[in-house]
Amino acid sequence: MLNKFNSFMEKWMPFVTPVCLMVGVLFPDIAKHGVPYVTYVFAFMTFIGALKSRFRDIANVFKRPLPLILMFLVLHILIPVTAYGVGLLFFPENINYITGIILEFSVPVAVISLMWVSIYNGNNPLSLSLVILDTILSPFLIPATLKILVGSNIKMDTAGMMKELVFMIALPAVIAMCLNEFSHGKVMETWPKKLAPFSKMCLIFVVTSNSSKVSPYIKHLNGERLAVTAIILVLSASGYAIGWLIAIVTKQNKESTVSMIYGSGMRNISAGAVIAGAYFPAECLFPVMIGTLFQQILAAFYGSLVRRVQMSQCKKEDI
C-alpha cells in the first residue's frame, strides 16, 4: 500500500503541493496545529532525501566542476540579485515582499529535483552533488544573501536562523551520508525505497501546516499580491530556462543539461517557508508559499520540453 501511495504521489506531484497549499489556506484553524512540529518533520524529510548520497559522489563531480559551479552562480548570485532588483522595482515601499521574494530564491536546490532528473535521464551524480553541497552550505548562504541584500532594512535573528538551518537541513544530510559510509552503501540500497512514502507524507504536512500562516493573504488577494504572484512565476520559470541556456552555451551533454535545468530551477520552498514563518513578518511568507503553486508544474512543463528536444535530436541523428 505504501509503495502504491508513493507511486501515486510521484505521478501527480505537479498537483500535490498546490492542493496542500489550498487545504492549508481553506482550513487554517486546523492546519496551524502542525506548525510547532514543522522543523522536526522537515529535518526527517531532509534525512530521507539525503539517504541516496555519499561523500565520494561529491569528490567524483569535482573532477569536472564547471556545471556545478555554474549552477551555484545561478542559484545564489544571478537569481537572488535579480529577485532583489525586481522586488525593489515593483515594491519599493514594501520591504516584507522584497525579503520574501529574495528568500524564495535564496534557499537551496530542492531534494525532489533528483526525482525529475532521474525521470528525464539526467546526470544523477552531478545533481546529487549539487543537492548535498547546497544543503550543507545553506545555513551560511541563506543568512549571508539576506544580510547582503536587505540586512539593513529588516530585523533578522541571523544566529537563530543559522542554528535552525543546521538542525533541519545540514545535520540530517550529514548523518544520512555518514550512515551510508559506515554501512558501506547498504543503507542507501534499502532505506530510501522504504522511507520514500514517508518523505511524501512529510512534504504534505509541511506545506499544509505552513499554508495556514499565509491564509489571510491568499483569501484577500489584491493587485499588489497578484503582482507578487506573477513575479514569482516569471522568476521561477527563468531559473529553468537560464540553466538550460548556460548548458547549451557551455556545450554540456544531454545528461548534464537535464541536471542543470532542474538544478538551476527547483528550490527547497518548504525550507524557505519554515524560515520565513519563524524569523520574519507573516507578509514575507506570502511570496515564498505562493511558489508552491508553480514549482512542480514548471518542472513537468520543462520536462516535456526536454523530452521533445531529445526526441527531435534522436530523429536527426537517425537521418
Name residue 109's beta-bridge partners: 267
Q: pTM for the full model?
A: 0.80
Q: Round to whole Å and give the CA distance between 268 and 46.
A: 10
Domain enclosing residue 123, as ranges: 2-318
Q: pLDDT by residue (tens digit) across 195-254?
A: 988 988 888 898 888 888 778 878 888 889 899 999 999 999 999 999 999 999 999 999
Task: Tell the residue number behind the cell numbers 512529510, with chain if given.
Answer: 202
Q: Round to whole Å and give the CA distance between 256 and 291.
A: 25
Here the CATH number for the domain that contains residue 6 is: 1.20.1530.20
Q: Round to whole Å and give the CA distance between 299 and 198.
A: 22
Cβ proximity of 154 and 34 under 8 Å: no
Cβ proximity of 292 and 131 under 8 Å: no
Cβ proximity of 279 and 157 under 8 Å: yes
Q: Check residue 129 and give its pLDDT.
A: 85
Distance of CA 119 to the CA centre of its chain: 17
Cβ proximity of 265 and 117 under 8 Å: no
Three-state secondary structure readout of the chain:
CHHHHHHHHHHCHHHHHHHHHHHHHHCHHHHHHHHHHHHHHHHHHHHHHHHHCCHHHHHHHCCCCHHHHHHHHHHHHHHHHHHHHHHHHHCCCCHHHHHHHHHHCCCCECCCHHHHHHHCCCCHHHHHHHHHHHHHHHHHHHHHHHHHHHCCCCCCCHHHHHHHHHHHHHHHHHHHHHHHHHCCCHHHHHHHHHHHHHHHHHHHHHHHHHHHHHHHHHHCCCHHHHHHHHHHHHHHHHHHHHHHHHHHHCCCCHHHHHHHHHHHHCECHHHHHHHHHHHCCHHHHHHHHHHHHCHHHHHHHHHHHHHHHHHHHHHHHHC
Mean pLDDT, the chain, rounded, equals: 86
Distances (CA, A) of 155 to 228, 276, 282: 22, 12, 13
Q: Check residue 111 and give its pLDDT.
A: 77
Q: Check residue 23 and give its pLDDT.
A: 92
Give the mean pLDDT per block of 10 residues along the chain (319 residues): 82 80 90 89 84 77 89 95 95 92 91 78 84 85 90 72 80 88 89 87 86 81 91 96 96 92 90 84 87 83 87 70
The domain tally of the chain equals: 1
Task: Tell the residue number behind the cell numbers 538542525, with chain if given.
Answer: 167
